[in-house]
Amino acid sequence: MKTTLTKADIVEAIYEATNRNRAEVKNVVEKLLEIMKTAIKKDNELLISGFGKFECYDKASRKGRNPQTNESIILPPRKVIVFRLSRKLRAALNP
């Protein structure tokens, strides 16, 4: 059965591997995620060497359909974030 790695799991793993208390580790993880969000908003991309790249791009408006009423609608433009694996991580996953 697959399980999802949560923020709490990350905090717990770092807590067990270091001499820091949980509150301190949680603050560091929160700050890291905040820095990542800010970078993506500001630069539209975030590169983590050996892991991958998060890219944000604009998706144009498009035609859609309401499945309940079958009515055609125009979906507004929006931003989308995609993740691309680094070559090293891809090679590790697919030996």
The structural domains of the chain, ordered by start, are 1-43 (no CATH), 44-95 (4.10.520.10)
Q: Residue 11 has what pLDDT?
A: 95
Structure tokens given for 73: 């609608």
CB 10 within 8 A of CB 29: yes
> Order of strands, edge to edge, in the sheet holding 52-59?
45-48, 52-59, 78-85
Low-confidence ranges of the chain (pLDDT < 70): 1
Q: Residue 1 has what pLDDT?
A: 66
Distance CA 76, CA 46 (A): 25
Candidates 55, 63, 41, 56; CA nearest to 84 is 55
Q: Residue 2 has what pLDDT?
A: 76
Distance CA 1, CA 5 (A): 13
